Structure 1
Amino acid sequence: MVAKSKDLVYEHVYEAILEQKLAPGTRLSEESLAEIFDVSRAIVRRSLLKLSHQQVVQLRPNKGAIVASVSIAQSKQIFFARRVVERAIIELAVHNHTAADLQSLIEIVEQEKACFTRGDRSSGIRLSGEFHFKIAEIAANSQLKSFHRSLVPQTSLIIAQYEKRGISHCSYDEHLQLVKVIAAGSVDKAVQLMMCHLDHIEDKLNLDGLASSEDLHQVFSKVKR
């Protein structure tokens, strides 16, 4: 049985969303979560409320909680917010980092690469998020860190909903380049690379409103007969 903890449900659901193991729209049953983690439903409710404050879970009156879905308009707003926050964070990280911080970032990138290489996509995505969390930690600004912690899992939800088919989410090469420019102490290069990195993530998404279709006639309308 999993050890009891008031934050256990929050931590595991948060991580599952970050790893894209829980798809947008997935029902989060209080009863099931209480049974799985051997905690009271009151603890589950508090965890779901905390996750809803981070906008990764939606609480529906009389219907229960679900993993949040993000509209295209909301997705664009979230990416805009991430650019603002990541710009400030990377600037601070360039000034505040230590040799130990750089080593931690390199280790995360190496683990991330190993996960994607062996096909462990979920762990690779989690480590990608941890890389950005570590930079936020290095920045040493608690307000930015708190806001950033809600934006990263929201980005995972966006990717789960809108990632173009056949496109790889691997980004460890860009992460390694970010470590190098942080180490070099170049604020301008670090900001430029971070903005390009976020651009590349957004470019892999279908945010133009052209959603997939379940209509066979529409899907195969251009097939020659």
Structure 2
Amino acid sequence: MTLDDSTIPGPLAGEDRAAAIRDHLRDAIVDRRLAPGTKLSEAEVGVLFEVSRTVVRAALQALAYEGLVRIERNRGAFVATPTPEEARQVFAARRLIEPDIARAAAGRITPDEIATFRERLHDESRLMGERGPSARRAEIRASGDFYLLLASVAGNAILLKFMEELVARSSLVIAVYGRSGASSCGHNDHGNILDALEQRDANQAALVLLTHIDHIEADLDLRNTDNMPLRDALHRS
């Protein structure tokens, strides 16, 4: 893979370059281009991004801290494969955090932010009508962005950071256990959440969000996805 200016920009310090690689790998994991269990070779990633193995190692360690990568001594780094119990814990955490995010957002949301949400829902509708793995990955990513936008509107930077990790972990869980890749009722739920936000009905927004989390979790089983080669997963079309 030959990188251009749209992937890793110009000369960067080691720490900044490691952060950029971490972000690219995280995107590939969240988008399900890197399946759980995929080996992340330091040498191969280093070649793809034209950096040293030391820089790659820093990026992988950061992802391990987030729970997206598993590092095994003498074996290397792998995309994490969450256990059923870890999957339940992810959604239990979301049930604790997201209702309060919805309540806070209901008290702060502006007409411009509502318009932004409407645009996102339009994009989700379009993606739901498309077919193929890339469309499914884009749909899951759009769904995750909905929750991050909600957390941003709530105005709590700490909770937004928590949600970034929870959304990433949720995507990983869906990659392992999801039947359809996304809840079939997800888009309607998002619309109902937005309706409650627009009406500034904090309790209704929280209630619909909890119902939506139930719908996502109900769509899980023990199905695994097929691995994609590392080079293909990190290729950006």
Taking structure 2 as the reference length, what is the TM-score of the superposition? 0.82
- In 2: Cα distance, 1:90 partner to 1:183 partner: 11
Q: 1:150 aligns with which of 142, 158, 165?
A: 165
Change (3 A) 1:205 1:183: same
| Equivalent position SS for 1:138 | helix
What is aligned with 1:80?
92
Quick one: percent identity of the two aligned structures?
30
Tell me how far 1:188 sits from its aligned partner: 0.9
Aligned length: 208
Taking structure 1 as the reference length, what is the TM-score of the superposition? 0.86
Unaligned runs of 5+ in 1: 213-225
Change (3 A) 1:36 1:85: same
Tell me how far 1:167 sits from its aligned partner: 7.2
- In 2: Cα distance, 1:2 partner to 1:88 partner: 41
Q: 2:4 aligns with which of 2, 5, 9?
A: 2
Unaligned runs of 5+ in 2: 10-16, 224-237
- In 2: Cα distance, 1:115 partner to 1:181 partner: 24
Change (3 A) 1:167 1:74: closer
**Could you tell which deviates more after superposition, 43-52 or 131-140?**
43-52
Query: How big is the alpha-carbon RMSD for the aligned residues of Structure 1 and Structure 2?
Result: 1.8
* Aligned pairs (5 A) from 1:110-125: 110-119=122-131, 120-125=135-140
- In 2: Cα distance, 1:201 partner to 1:134 partner: 18
What is aligned with 1:215?
none
Instruction: Flag the structure with more relative contact order, 1 or 2, with Cα contacts below 8 A and sequence separation at least 6.
Output: 2
* Aligned pairs (5 A) from 1:34-113: 34-113=46-125
- In 2: Cα distance, 1:88 partner to 1:28 partner: 37
What is aligned with 1:139?
154
Q: Considering only CA atoms, is the larger Rg found in Structure 1 or Structure 2?
A: 1
